[in-house]
Amino acid sequence: MYLLFLLILLGCDNLNMDTPVILDETPPVVHITYPANQSVVSGSVLITAYAFDNNKLENVKLYLDDAVIFQGDTKPYEVVWNTLQFQEEESYTISATAEDSSGNKTFSKSIEVQIDNYDNIKPNGIFLYPSTGQVLSGIIEISIHAEDNEQVDFIDLFINGDRIGSFDDNPNIDEYYYYYWDTNEFPEDNINTIHAHIYDLSGNYQILGPISITVDNKNAPDIIVPQGTIIHPAAGSTVHGFVNIEVNAFDNIAIDHVKFIINGEQIFNDTTSPYIYNWDTTNEDEDQNQIINIDVIDHAGNETSLYPVSVIVNNLEEPDLTPPNIVIYDPASNQTVYGIVNILTIVTDNDSIDRVEFYQNYNLAYTDYSLSYTHSWNTLNEQDDTEHIWYAIAYDLENNSSQTDPILIYVDNIDNIPPYGAITYPFAGQYVNGIIDIQTEVYDNTGISQVQFSINDSIVFIDSENPFEYEWNTLSYSEDEEHLIKIIVSDIDNNNFQNGVSVTVNNNLLPDDDNIYPFASILNPVSGQSISDTISVLGFAMDNYQVEQVQFLINNEIVSTLNDTPYTFQWSTVDLEDNSEHVLIMTAEDQAGNITTAQPVLVNILNP
């Protein structure tokens, strides 16, 4: 006990009772602000982090997987990541750490992103009209719905293997493509095949079809009913005043008229497209469901009743107590900006917007009465490397208002961001021949000054105008060897970026290693069919280069050899035994000697 008391006295002698010790136990805050978790990235990606401490930050680190890619103690905490130098379609983890001067350390939540620099997804589509097996006459509308993960470039249309047209105009908003085909120019009572090639901007393509139809222009009765849709107003919507009832109607030949029926009473006939009736809803019962029916009749008298829609009439205005909704969608919070920045908003209201006020650092900076509700902010008037708080307030006509969440914007007008560029054609590893157009895709945060093109590290062309392209004559270069195509992209602030691909020159258009077999199919007759008299045997074939010949065999004996489309011949069955079975075979051979045998067809002879 005495020993313990002595130790306490000795300890007290060494303490300075006038100087309290304060320990900083508050850890810093850190998180990744860009890119977002589970996002897909490409090209040069600016990885940014937010970090804060109540005292002082000693060190902030950014990690790609387990490797440090940035380290510093002053803002901004960001680094440019060139994804082109990493594995395509692989996932990577991004994280950050922050340590303060007291040794407190915080680990951010990790995010995962996937690299996708190249478009290798094929477009897709479907024939909407006609369908296989139809009998058609006159001028018909061939319609195709096509879509792509980026954009459809054009569609080539083929009839009986011959290209007859290209859909290269912009489609309507629903990505529908149309082609008017005059069947009168084709033989009567013949089966015709239709197929199409859909191409996207990256050269990926998809084959649609084939479908087979029969042309019959002599006394062909019209038994096909018309079709249509009520496109306005929408079912379940509330309407008032004068409302346009709009109908989209079509027929294999022609529409005669469209009947507009409201609550069981026919009120209007329209004989010309577009089929529209201006409906005065003030004559209808208030706050009641109104049923709109449409009947479509073609020139042959075929009639279709479209699926009805029900709407509610509300012509008496009620007090507007609902505030508008507003968000700032660009720029994003914690974003670094420069130059002229458009602050963009999305504003909605149950009635109408009156104005939007923009506030900078809690002071009113601008009021916009236009429908764009945008403010152009000239950051050159601000001190560089400063932070600014922005928010917006929207008012409707009844002065109801709502405010956006404030966003923090960082101003940096000194351009140290390099441009980015990629060779979009040809592709890496591709075989090229003749004169090819080297195409690029380049961009920069301020502007592109020039693009240098080099072949095997020798500059061959400098382009200072968009599009940045170069026509390369491969005939002057070594055959069957790899050649490096490189571009050096320079922006107006002399920041540079370079990229390249290797290709092989091969001016022999038919390679020795063509091991891709052609495609072959017998379209008519079909297996199990009973046939009589003389029929048209029809086949379909295509190849990555060219189909050299097509042969038809009956019971393993060659009966027809064709070197061009259409692949068809007339088969007379009148001399064959009744109720006998026969096997029809088709083969397709390309220039390299690759041979494909189509699925055989078994038919039964049934002559009177």
- For 455-503, what is each residue's pLDDT tens digit? 999 999 999 999 999 999 998 898 888 999 999 999 988 899 999 999 9
Whether 25 has a pLDDT exceeding 60, the answer reads yes
Q: What angle do CA 79, 84, 86 make, to 5 degrees?
A: 85
Mean model confidence pLDDT for the chain: 87
Contact of 51 with 98, CB cutoff 8 Å: yes
Does residue 60 have a pLDDT over 90? yes
- State the average pLDDT over residues 27-55: 90
- Cβ proximity of 116 and 40 under 8 Å: yes
CA dihedral for 65, 68, 72, 75, sign (positive or negative): negative
Both structure tokens of 112: 């995962």
First to last CA, the chain: 128
pLDDT given for residue 342 in this prediction: 95
Question: Model confidence at 181, in pLDDT bands (50, 70, 90)?
Answer: confident
On the question of pLDDT at 454 being above 90, the answer is: yes
Total H helices, total E strands in the chain = 1, 52
Q: What is the mean pLDDT of residues 55-61?
A: 90
CB distance 539 to 552 below 8 Å = yes
pLDDT in tens, 122-154: 898 888 888 888 888 888 888 888 888 888 888
**Antiparallel, parallel or unpaired: β 407-411 and 335-337:** parallel
Regarding beta strands 111-115 and 40-41, do their DSSP bridges make them parallel or antiparallel, or are they unpaired? parallel
- Looking at the predicted structure, is the pLDDT value of residue 526 above 50? yes
The mean pLDDT of 561-576, rounded to a whole number, is 90
Q: Sign of dihedral through CA atoms 77, 83, 85, 88?
A: positive
Which residues, listed in sequence order, are joined to residue 99 by a DSSP beta bridge? 59, 105
Domains and CATH numbers, the chain: 29-115 (2.60.40.10), 124-215 (2.60.40.10), 227-313 (2.60.40.10), 325-411 (2.60.40.10), 420-505 (2.60.40.10), 519-605 (2.60.40.10)
- What pLDDT band is residue 425 in, cutting at 50, 70 and 90? confident
- The string of pLDDT tens digits covering residues 373-396 is 999 999 999 988 899 999 999 999
Q: Which residue has the tokens 């346009």?
A: 244
Mean pLDDT value of segment 206-218: 85
